[in-house]
Amino acid sequence: MGRGHVFVTQGDITLLSADVVAYSTDRSLSLGGQLTFAFFTNLPGFEARYRALSATIAAKPEDKPVAGKCFFLETSSGTKPRGVVVAVATGARSPRIVRARAAVEGALRCAIEHLARLEVPKPWRIALPAFLTGDGGARHDRLAVAEPQVESALEFVEDHEDIDVVFVTYTAATYQVYLEARRRVRATRAPHSSSSPSAHPALAPPEELVESLRSGECVLFVGSGISVGSGLPGWPSLIEELADDLGIERAARRDGLDWFLDLAQWYREERKRPTLARRIESRFSAESTGAKPTLAHYLLTSLPVRYWITTNYDELLELALDAHRRHPQKVVSERDVARTGGRDGCYVVKFHGDAPTRRGIVISRDDYDRFFDKRPAMALLLEGLLLNQSFFFLGYGLRDPDFRQIYHRIAVMLRGAKRSSFATTFESTSTHAHAQWRKKHLELIDVPGEGPADKSRALDLFLDRLAEAVADDPRLFLADDVERPLAPHVTALRDELLRSTHTLADAILHAAGASPSEVRTLAEVLRFLTARGWRGEHPGQLSTLFSALAAYPGLRKSERHDLLVAALGHTESGRDAEAVRQMIEALEEPRPPAGRRAPRPAR
């Protein structure tokens, strides 16, 4: 497949489907870092192994590891990741830039050494955190430590084939910093380098798509192709099981979705057991399979999109949105449609049902044929979104019956519309095919590559470029540790706004007796500042401020809910995120278990 790439995304690194993930720690391997809760919660076996390693280091205080020293701890789940690289990045006297490079270089060397020993087939994907940007490192100098990390990773992938490096930042603000670092590093490198954006011109995202995403006017349709690489089982084994249970001779069996729809219909009519819904749950729920979101899921869920429509049964989109702390709400039934529309919410509309809860499963011939008739509220939601949104399809084949059924209905609605829809495709398409689909208001985006695996990797690169293009005007105006060339009067305004943040924080925390109108004004000002890069003076301050606003009396329940969702998005550790999630769930109506997250650890 050739040289690897350096990706930048955001979210919880422990929920990403990668071959190896890295954990950042200090020289004493302490147990209180910002990443600790997530790693202990989501990676089976890691806590016990890490505590044992920490105790071993503590027993030899005269021989503490230096920055860049790494330890490999295998995980026990049997699924990705194969192991965790524990990388020492803080607690040493060497300059931060030196420690930053040493942590990346040491982690990557350690990862490939053990992946080779474990005989894991390539390509490999290694996920790294944003070293030194938390409590104990360079929180107030992030760009200075991000650039050497990105540069080290780029040098590494240029020397190693079929290895990708993914920087996974926990917060949206640090994500912007690492995108900026990658831009700056690229600008200093040779134009022919594989890290250069011009190296793959075919993957340049359409400007109209970029603009619709920037303006928040895009809805994503996600098909099963996005889940490739997550570890989910395919359809063939389920089809064979149904055919066996129905006693159908091998010679009489066929291929394709049409055949499967008939099989499912016959199975249901004969009242076979287990039910189709239970079979779907066992194959597509994360709890049953151990599947995790792919890099494609993470890149997609970093986009400023509020509505995600999918025909997939799995909850990988919800897990990825949860990893971004965006609190996704599932829309599976007609009743769920009424809950959409919150200001800070995001919604996963599951046309064919939800595997973890076994609700709304669409799988048989009758289910497909009667879908829109039986779900008029979902059809109306789709039509309403079409009025002001562009649609972007990913993970579907152009001949996919799911895609054709949905797009046929959309095409009727789009007659006379000024907006185009977009669809990535792995199929070889001619200019005639492009012209044919363009008449139906659909612009095709051809994904290059020699085979499915190559194309999947190219799609990741396209999504990485798309996410970067959408964020091309970095929201770092008020980031106090990122210097940008500004006109003198603009600089003066920036400094004045930063000084005003102290007054705003005091007003929020000590505004006893404030009216609901005043609280809403404070919330608007806080949203304005945080959207432009202000992240508070200390870890967790923004989350505390949004939570404090949500606690004021007189606000509507929906307003409190939106403020807590904003608070969740600004948490800086897994433990804080879990605390805010519990406050949000206390406001919501009881629902069936969503199966979104890994089980909480024993207290």
DSSP string covering 510-550, please? T-TT--HHHHHHHHHHHHHHHTTT---SSTTHHHHHHHHHH
Q: Cα 513 from chain centroid?
A: 39
**In this structure, are residues 577 and 15 in contact, taking their beta carbons and an 8 Å threshold?**
no
Residue 198 neighbours by CB under 8 Å, 6+ apart: 191
* Per-domain boundaries in the chain: 6-199, 207-231+289-470, 488-532+536-569+573-587
Residue 409 neighbours by CB under 8 Å, 6+ apart: 372, 379, 382
The model's confidence at residue 597, banded by pLDDT at 50, 70 and 90, is very low
Sign of CA dihedral 248, 253, 255, 259: negative
β-pairing, 163-169 with 6-10?
A: parallel
Write the single-letter amino acid at 259: W
Q: What is the mean pLDDT of residues 558-587?
A: 93
6-199 has which fold?
A: Leucine Aminopeptidase, subunit E; domain 1 (3.40.220)
Element (H, E) at 337: helix 334-337
**Rounded Cα gap, residues 38 and 13, in angstroms:** 8
> Which region among 295-299, 438-442, 522-526 has the lowest average model confidence (pLDDT)?
438-442
**In this structure, are residues 27 and 184 in contact, taking their beta carbons and an 8 Å threshold?**
no
% of the chain at pLDDT higher than 90: 48
Predicted confidence (pLDDT) at residue 390 exceeds the cutoff of 60: yes
pLDDT tens, residue by residue, 130-180: 998 876 567 778 899 999 999 999 999 999 989 999 999 998 889 999 999
**Rounded Cα gap, residues 294 and 227, in angstroms:** 7
**Rounded Cα gap, residues 104 and 102, in angstroms:** 6
**Rounded Cα gap, residues 21 and 34, in angstroms:** 15
78 burial (CB, 10 Å; 0-12 / 13-18 / 19+) is exposed
Residue 484 neighbours by CB under 8 Å, 6+ apart: 476, 477
**Rounded Cα gap, residues 457 and 124, in angstroms:** 11
- Residue 119 has what pLDDT? 92
Q: What is the mean pLDDT of residues 336-347?
A: 81
The model's confidence at residue 596, banded by pLDDT at 50, 70 and 90, is very low
The residue ranges of DSSP E strands in 345-414, in sequence order, are 346-350, 390-394
**Rounded Cα gap, residues 574 and 322, in angstroms:** 11
CATH number for region 207-231+289-470 = 3.40.50.1220
Predicted confidence (pLDDT) at residue 369 exceeds the cutoff of 60: yes
Q: What is the mean pLDDT of residues 551-572?
A: 93
Residue 507 neighbours by CB under 8 Å, 6+ apart: 522
